Each structure stands twice: as structure tokens, then as C-alpha cells.
Structure 1
Amino acid sequence: MKRPLTVVVSGLGVAQIISWGSLYYPIAVLGERMQQDLQISSSMLFAAFTLSLSISGLAAPAVARLMEAHGARAVLCSGSVLSMLALCLLAAASGPLSLFGAAILAGFAMSACLYDAGFMALNQIAGDAYRRSVTGLTLFGGFASTLSWPVSQFLMAMAGWRQALLFYALLQILVCLPLHACLLPANGRKHGSLPDRPAIENQAPDIAWLALAFAAGSFVLSVLSVHLIGMFRTAGLSDAQAVMIAALVGPTQVLGRLLELGMGRNTRAVHVGTMTFAAMILGMTALFLLDGSTQLAYLVAALYGISNGLMTIVRGIVPAELYGRHDYTTLLGRLARPAFVARALAPFGFTLALATLGQTSTMLLLLAMSMMASMAYWVAVRHARRRSIKQHGD
């Protein structure tokens, strides 16, 4: 029986909250206790987390092919099962070997059940409502950290980090798996023959520019997600000020997505993308000039939250407007790979640059990367427009 799209998006949104809240966010709360029990360093723990994110990006094109061949239900249900297995393996970890084994499995699970897999599923079922569906899905996902961090803290205090992970594993099987199984169609949308596939192949250089824009933007935003509080402290803010101002990132992220939902009918997706990259550049500029100013720190938090909240949506809707939605699942898989790898490498890359180049040069490098991301985006949009004008002219 076909479900109303609002029901599907809401159900997938709940699954996104649980999946992000069990695979991505808990390490911020459980990490220190995990290090102590497993007798490993912080760098080793986060190396395993980086491995998970890298594998997620590398596996994205394969996940796209599986979704085209077997449909959204099979892929996202598999993602829920893999998530359950990964969390159980992580809960049973006794040292580096089992930790990295769980991290590898978690990487494949992420690629099959987080945002990009959700976008691919919506592409198959949402029709003309795809853009609003993507925005709605990300609105749900925006609450993942808000719920995951206090729940993880409560579970760890009551029963320990291993039991917390087992609780999340149960949620994957008892909540996410049934939602994916009941709400998604059994088969993928059937396209006609593949006359439009060469169109994507012929636009590979243009798509490469867009992939560069998303990868560079993801790198910058990922650095801020991990190091923003430390940057505030280095710039002269007190610990209390740094934490209080950084806490505004979550609400402004949701605010950005609500604004996109309201603008959706009257604003082209590419213009939302332009605003996203502009907000990122302005935020990085304010961060570079911070020098202890609480007013600029509030501006940084707001601009970062808005750009980070919108970037997730932009990655889902702009390619559809530029290249169409035939073979869109494949295209999303290609674009996800460099973005996820960049996101995975960003925290370590920033730390390395900080140690070798110093604070000022590293901040300038981040500002330059945000500008490069914006320029690559502009080139991709311009090339797509030229191609569209040429095709219509022909």
C-alpha cells in the first residue's frame, strides 16, 4: 500500500534522527570512557571514526548502484541491519583490532542509511515534491545531536558506554528497520532505457566542479564542527563564552532549513546554494577577524549554523536543478564520495596544519578553501547554464 509522502518523510526523518544519533554523534559523549576502557589514545579512537566516514564516502557510488538495481527499501533496510551489527561489535570491542573492525562496518552502514541514502530514496518516490521532501528530511535530522548527546550521557551514567551502544543497536532493529521496510517501495523506480545516461557522462567535467565545491565546503564546515569552541578560546573568549555561543549553532542550523522550506517555491535551488557558500565565506572572515569580540563570535556561530544547515539541503537539491533527475541516484553517489572523504579528513588535517603552519596561516587557509568552494560552485553553475542554453538553442 502506497503511503502519503508526508508520512514517508516523517518516518524516514525519525530513522535519520536515530541513525545519526547512534552512528555519528555518540562519540563526542562516549569517547573519553571508551578510550579508558579500551586503553587506547584519543588519536586512535578518532582515527577509527575517520575511517568510518571515509569508507562511507568511498562506498556511496556502490550504494547508488544497489539502490538503482534493487530499490530504496532493500538498501535502507540493509543499512539498519549493518548499523545494528556495527554497534553490537563496537559495544563488544576489547582493543584496537575489534574497534577498527566495527568502524569499517559502521562506514558501510552510514553510506546505506544516512542523508545521502535518504535523498536517493526520495528521488525515487517523491516526484515533483522532491525538494520539499529533502528539506523536510533534514529538518528531522537537525535534531539528532540535540537528542543523542543527552541520551548518550544519561545511558552512560546509568549503565555504561557499551550498554548505550547496545540500546542504539536495538533502536536500529526495532524502529529504523520497520520504518524502512513499511514506508519504502520494494522496487526501485523503473526508468526507460538509458538514453539519458550519456548526458551525465558527458557532463563529467561540470560535475567535477560541483564535487570540488561540495568537498571543499564540507572540509571547512567539518573543521568548524569539531574545533569551533577551541577556535573561540584561542581568539580570546572564555570557556563559558565559547561554549555558550557555540550552542547557538544548532538552532541557527534549523533556522536555515526552515528558511529554505519557506523560500522553496520562489527561490531557485542554485540561488540557495549561492547564499550557502556566501554565508560560509562571511563566517570564516568573521572568525579570522574575531580577536576576542563576542559580537563577531555570535555572527560566526550564526553564519556557520546557517551555512551548515543549508549545505546538506544544497547537496541534495542543486544537482537536480542543474542536471535533471534521470540517473540522479548515481549522480548523488558520485557527489557524496569526495564530500564524505573531505569531511572525514578535515579534523585531522586542520590539527596537522595548525601544528605546521601556525594559527594565522591555518585560518587564512580555511578562508581560502571556503572561497575556492564558492568559486568551484559558480563555475559548475555557469557551465550547466551554458549547456542548457546550447541544448535549448539546438
Structure 2
Amino acid sequence: MRNNASSAGWLIPALGMTQIIGWGAMFYAYGVLMGPMQAALHTSKPVIVGAFSLALLVSGFLSTLAGAIIDRFGGRILMGAGSVLAAVLLALLSRVDSVTELYLVWAGIGVAMSATLYQPAFAVLTQTFGAEYRRAITLVTLFGGFASTVSWPLTQFLLGKCGWRDTWTIYAIANLLLCLPVHALLPVFRQDRGAKAAETATKATLATVLREPRFYLVTGAITLNALVFSAMSLHLISILQARGVSPVHAAAIGALVGPMQVLGRVLETTIGKKATSRQVGLIAIWLLPLALALLLAPSEWLLVYGVFAAMYGIGNGVMTIVRGTLPAELYGRETYGAISGAMATPVLIAIAAGPFAASLVYSLTGGYAGTMLVLIGIALLGAILFICVTNHSPLADNLPVLKKVEP
């Protein structure tokens, strides 16, 4: 039986806080701290970036397992243990003195990511809020959208006051004192016998889903979309400057992306709340290739570049929600954790590989002009694949027994 959502209203702001801390500490802070860490460890930038990519790969490979654990036991044990692990490893990160230690610690942080960030949080919300899962996921992503807004200036401030080692220690303490209590108090999930029997009878399992062609269409579409977004996250400023945009204007255009992501999530929970996740996703995923095409405009057309930032940010913000809500809409909520985890595995790998892949294309094509055309092509392919998803009825619609036992 699912937990009573009416008694779990505290969960949305509480999990929102843990997502700000988790993403801030394990994802965004490294962008500020890797420079001084590179100098302290006497290594190169690719080596420093590679450690972070390793964490994303580990997180991706463990996402299905993490989801399956939450399907069976709920999120309290996994996310609680993940908070402890994050605290320990961030503390160890403050003490690394070699590249080997750096990679070992970041590999462990990848495990903590898989247990504490969006994917497990979405699984918990889906269990707890039942039919209201989409609204809950959207609201938590609104909090998460401010992770970079909080983390980047805070990390820069702490770096100036304390140095990079003590900054990591402070983030370790934050995970232990703020995230662990929330995760330790997550609602206990108990699946009654009726639900378990229904699940067995309908075979709405990960194995069943993995035999369905549509699973690979939707996963492929979302993965290609994430690959391009990830590539652009590192190369956007360089691409703008290569187009002839001044450094000041390029920075201003880049700064618009974060607020536009939050705006996209607000629009999803207001204007788009009556649409299905597939309908919302179809609009959001097409915003990416259309936005990238605007980057081909002359550098003097700054208004067009502002429109690019709006479309690009809104699309990315909404797709984060779609990645969280679409598995439940397509396949039901009983095995949401495992199925969403399976979808997330290639997505997280693509996020890890995106910046490197764009650099490789840059080298092969001799500049950002060719790179942009390739990225537009990949984004278009992802959007076309997503159209195929919208032309099928959700598997959940064909699972009457499952739907019957859900509140």
C-alpha cells in the first residue's frame, strides 16, 4: 500500500533542499574547485575532468540497481546510506594528494550520486504521491533548479575564505547534518499483497519493458537530447565567441539559461499541467534543435541569441521533468524505480561523454561551425524518435489490474 500523500507534504521542500545540497556539492562545486585542485595535484585539466566523468559513469551504471532497491524497500535505506557515503567521500576528497586518490574518491561519489540525486528522489516521490507524482516531481525540480545558483557563488566564497580542502569538508558536513536526517525520515514503503499479486499477474517488470521496442525509442530520444545539452554546457561560451559574440555578451547569454530552466519548470506545472508528459516532452525536445539553429544567426542579432537562451533553457528545464515522469506514464508506477533507472543509465553516460564527444567533433571538423551542424543533427534525430513515442498508447493503459490497485 502506498503511503498517504496528504501526510507527506513536508517531503517536497525537504527533498528539494537535499537536491540543492546534493547537486551543489557533488556536481556544480567541482566546476569552481577543479582549478585549484589541478594546481595542487600538479596534473592536467583533462585528468581533473576525467575524474568527474568517472563519477557520472558509475552513477549511470548503478541507476537501475538503485531504482530496483527503492521499488522493493523504499528510499529510506538507500538514500540515507547515500547521504552518509557522500559525507564520507566529500571529506576524503578534501584530503586527496594524488590523481589515483582523486579517481578512487570520485568513483565512490558516483555511487553516492546514484543513491541521492534526482533518480532515487523521483522514485520515492512516485511511490509516496501516487497519482500526484508528476506535480511532486515538478516541484522538487524547481528547488533543484537553484542548485547552481546557490552552489557556484557559495563555493567561490568558501574557496576564497577557506581554500578548496576545507570547502569540501563543509559540503561533507552539510550532507551529514542536513541531508541524512531528511533521508532517514522518508516514508516507509510497504507494498501490500494485492499490489504484489497484480504486478506478478501483469508481468509489468523491467524484463517485459526491455523487450518492447518503444522503450528503446524513448530512451534513445532522451539520451540524444541529454548528449547535446551536456556538450553545449561546456562549449556554449566558446561557440558564442566563435560566432563573433563578444565575451561580455556571451557571458550574459549563458547566464540567461539557468533562470530559463526554472521558468520552463514553472510553465510545466502551470500551463502544461493538464497535458500528458508525452505531449509536454514533444514540445520541449523540439525546442533544442530549433534553439541551436538560432546560433547560426549573425553575431549582431543579439535578440535572436536571447531567444536561443530562452528556448534552450526552457527545453532543458522541462526535459528534466519529462525524464522523471515519462516512465510512470508509459509503464505504470509499480516498477518505476527499475524502469526509470534503466532509462537513466544511457542518459547519464551521455551526460558524461557529451563534452568530450563535442571536443572530438570539433577536432574532426576543424571548428565549431561543423560541430554545430552535427549537434543540430543529433538533436533533430532525438526529436524525431520522440514523435514515435507519442504515437503509441502507454503500456500502463493495458495493465488494468495494476491500475486498479493504485490509488
TM over 0.5: yes
**Does 2:196 match 1:192?**
yes
Aligned to 1:335: 343
**Does 2:305 match 1:297?**
yes
Please give the alpha-carbon distance, in whole angstroms, between the structure 2 residues aligned to 1:185 and 1:244. Answer: 43
Report Cα offsets for 1:290-322 as digits up to 9, x if no partner: 545312211111111101101110001122222
Aligned to 1:52: 55
**Does 2:258 match 1:250?**
yes
Please say which of residues 85-94 and 375-384 is displaced more in the overlay.
375-384
Aligned to 1:61: 64
Given the alignment, which residue of 3, 8, 12 partners 1:9? 12
Please give the alpha-carbon distance, in whole angstroms, between the structure 2 residues aligned to 1:266 and 1:198. Answer: 26
Letter matched to residue 383 of structure 2: S
CA contact (8 A) 1:124 1:189 kept: no
Deviation at 1:58, TM superposition (A): 0.6
State the SS of the aligned residue for 1:297: helix
Report Cα offsets for 1:102-128 as digits up to 9, x if no partner: 110010111111111110111111112
**CA gap 1:391/1:21 in 2 versus in 1, 3 angstroms:** closer
Aligned to 2:282: 274
Please give the alpha-carbon distance, in whole angstroms, between the structure 1 residues aligned to 2:384 and 2:164. Answer: 44
**Does 2:348 match 1:346?**
no
Aligned to 1:121: 124
Aligned to 1:23: 26
Deviation at 1:354, TM superposition (A): 0.3
Report Cα offsets for 1:190-242 as digits up to 9, x if no partner: 54132233465444321111110111010011112221111111110111111
CA contact (8 A) 1:71 1:189 kept: no
CA contact (8 A) 2:329 2:396 kept: no
**Does 2:226 match 1:222?**
no
CA contact (8 A) 1:235 1:292 kept: no
Gaps of 5+ in 2: 401-407
**Does 2:389 match 1:380?**
yes
State the SS of the aligned residue for 1:6: coil
Report Cα offsets for 1:266-293 as digits up to 9, x if no partner: 2221111011111112111112345453
Q: How large is the RMSD of aligned CA atoms in angstroms? A: 1.9
**CA gap 1:221/1:46 in 2 versus in 1, 3 angstroms:** same
Aligned pair count? 390
Please give the alpha-carbon distance, in whole angstroms, between the structure 2 residues aligned to 1:25 and 1:378. Answer: 33
Aligned sequence identity (%) = 35
Given the alignment, which residue of 76, 85, 88 partners 2:88? 85
Report Cα offsets for 1:325-355 as digits up to 9, x if no partner: 2211111111110000000000111011101
TM-score by length of 1: 0.94
Q: 1:298-317 maps to which residues of 2 (within 5 A)?
A: 298-317=306-325
Q: 1:154-193 maps to which residues of 2 (within 5 A)?
A: 154-182=157-185, 184-190=186-192, 191-193=195-197
Deviation at 1:90, TM superposition (A): 1.1
State the SS of the aligned residue for 1:325: coil
Aligned to 1:145: 148
CA contact (8 A) 1:286 1:296 kept: yes
Deviation at 1:189, TM superposition (A): 4.0
CA contact (8 A) 1:125 1:189 kept: no
